[in-house]
Amino acid sequence: MKKIVAMMLVVMMTLAMFSAAMAADKVTYYVRGGTAEYEPYIYPGLVGLLKIQQMADVEIDWTVVCGNGDEINAQYLAMLSSGKYPDVIQWQHNNDYVGGVSQLYNDGIIIELNDVIDQYMPNYKALLDAHPEVAKTLKDDEGRYLYFTVINPLSTPDEKVAATWWGLQGRIDWMEAVDIEELPTTIDSWYEMLVAFRDLDPNGNGEQDEIPFDAGQNGLVYFLPAYDILPGAYIDPETGKVGFGEYTQNYKEYLETMNKWYSEGLIKDIWLEDGSIATANEKDADIYADLAGSWMGLSNYWEQRLPQVLEKNPNADFVAYPWIEDAQGRVFGTDYNIGYGDRYMACISVDCQNVEAAARLIDAMYTEEGTNCTTWGIVDGDPILSIPETEWTKGNGTYTIDENGVKHETEWANTMTENFYDGAFANKYRYAMSHVSFPRWGAGDYLASTREIHYVESAKLWGSADNSLEYPAAIVLSVDAQKAAAPQLDDINSYIADMTKKFISGEEPLTNFDNYIDQLQKMGMDDLIAAYQAAYDSFMAR
């Protein structure tokens, strides 16, 4: 009798499990992939996404679009033109569809999400209610939510690491060689350092071949915040109004400094024969040759550039410089395009037959556990590691949590990082390739805990500056809108670039700066600024 009861229980449990599996709602999910060699086969086994599906009781039917950039975009546009859409379309819509998500909505391809959020997404709604400053940037001017994205609250130094990973950088061993003990923080102290780099042979080869500041890759604009401006549209710190950096008297002061540095050999001649600015390749060649003392750099340069410099000079070392103080002692950062959202946007299409299931799935991604799934992976010991789809993990989780609540990658995760894309990109067990970012909230602890120490420290240093000069990244003023305001937009941009080169190199005297301003005015600069101002005012009124 006991055996019969036991057998019945087993059968009932099996049927219950089968029924539960059959009961799970299905959602078709369309994502932008990369190489077709293996990516289409990776997604069904993504451990973090399997966990999220379990949390939401939703099964994902993946469509992973692969190929080179043009091929991928062609497939995306063909799908949108077909009139038949998957339930969720996750893409860089604002980059690849003319008019972005707003036009997708106007074209009847995606749905408005306000009611969806209210009815089916309690976790996401609670986050938006608790962070109105974030919610404001995710709406359009009519108050509609149209997409879901990675959201970085930018409220802690760890969270800013993901958004502020480039700045001024250079050779601390050169500073030591010329007896400079403190990092430069003003234009004057930068000048003193660059002169010392030029004159005192910090690379020790007996020749005056040093490049004090290698301005390739448009590095000179990183000095603009010291003059309270940014390139293009910015927010004036005195008036709170929109300005255009290259159309100000502050820009003249900046040009005067850059002209002085250039004439004294503190800046390499960075312009190529066609008038364009030297690329990263030219700048890197100078860094590797032990010739460049400072430059615009990224947080990964300690990993990606320093090893090659050490082959030339075993004493070489890099340092991140803080942003430069303005005349009032304020420290502004450059235009990071800082926003709470991400370029990857997930939209629900008009063809979605089960909006509740799609919303439930994405809502699970925004929970703390869902965010952990799409960044850290799966905590070691999670029962989901025993299901067949995760067999490749051999039961290994990707992180543990210590007694203080701090996460640590497991040894297995570190091994996988070393063997998968050489550790340069996101890994299979987390959220797929570096070119795919699923909706999540926060996760600043992941980068801060797993990146190389110099990466984290430099990003935190650069992220500590005031970014209030920056025109809000959430405002997308299309090229068409800009050209409607200033039909000569392309000519304006070319004129600014050409005159900037001439002013800095001395080919054009700065006594002609007022003529330069007059010419920009005639070309429609005031109307262009007015268009940016109107968009800014509309945004602020949301």
pLDDT-wise least confident of 280-289, 320-329, 333-342: 333-342
Quick one: pLDDT at residue 66?
86
Q: Looking at the domain assignment, is residue 480 inside a domain?
A: yes
pLDDT-wise least confident of 103-117, 132-146, 220-234, 333-347: 333-347
Q: Quick one: 272 and 230 in the same domain?
A: yes
Q: Quick one: 139 and 214 in the same domain?
A: no
Q: Identify which of 104, 242, 114, 225 has the alpha carbon closest to the alpha carbon of residue 530.
A: 242
Average pLDDT, integer, range 114-143: 95
Quick one: pLDDT at residue 91?
95
Comparing 106 with 19, the larger pLDDT belongs to: 106
Quick one: pLDDT at residue 38?
63
Average pLDDT, integer, range 410-417: 77
Compute the distance between CA of residue 340 and CA of residue 366 in angstroms, rounded to an integer.
14
Q: Looking at the domain assignment, is residue 397 inside a domain?
A: no
Which amino acid, residue 529?
Answer: I
Quick one: pLDDT at residue 16?
35
Q: Looking at the domain assignment, is residue 395 inside a domain?
A: no
Residue 359, H or E segment? helix 355-365
Reported as a single tens digit per residue, the pLDDT across 505-526 is 999 999 999 999 999 999 999 9
Q: What is the residue range of 323's domain?
A: 166-335+470-540
223 within 8 A of 504, measured Cβ to Cβ: no
Q: Looking at the domain assignment, is residue 398 inside a domain?
A: no
Compute the distance between CA of residue 187 and CA of residue 260 in angstroms, rounded to an integer.
12
| pLDDT for 431 beyond 60 | no
Q: Quick one: 144 and 231 in the same domain?
A: no
Q: Quick one: 317 and 260 in the same domain?
A: yes
| Confidence category of residue 445, pLDDT binned at 50, 70, 90 | confident
Q: Looking at the domain assignment, is residue 16 inside a domain?
A: no
Q: Quick one: 229 and 301 in the same domain?
A: yes
| pLDDT for 113 beyond 90 | yes
Quick one: pLDDT at residue 417?
60
Q: Number of structural domains, the chain?
A: 2
Q: Quick one: 213 and 288 in the same domain?
A: yes
Q: Quick one: 483 and 358 in the same domain?
A: no
pLDDT-wise least confident of 31-40, 334-343, 351-360: 31-40
Quick one: pLDDT at residue 434?
47
Provide the pairing of β-strand 440-441 with 148-151.
Answer: parallel
Mean pLDDT rounded to a whole number for the chain: 89
Q: Quick one: 103 and 250 in the same domain?
A: no
Q: Quick one: 180 and 255 in the same domain?
A: yes
CATH of the domain at 150: 3.40.190.10
Q: Looking at the domain assignment, is residue 452 inside a domain?
A: no
pLDDT-wise least confident of 24-38, 106-120, 266-280, 319-333: 24-38
Tally of CB atoms within 10 A around 300 = 18
175 within 8 A of 319, measured Cβ to Cβ: yes
Average pLDDT, integer, range 415-430: 51
| Confidence category of residue 3, pLDDT binned at 50, 70, 90 | very low
pTM of the complete model: 0.83
| Confidence category of residue 418, pLDDT binned at 50, 70, 90 | low
Q: Quick one: 96 and 33 in the same domain?
A: yes
Q: Looking at the domain assignment, is residue 211 inside a domain?
A: yes
Q: Quick one: 172 and 321 in the same domain?
A: yes
Q: Quick one: 502 and 529 in the same domain?
A: yes
Q: Looking at the domain assignment, is residue 94 inside a domain?
A: yes
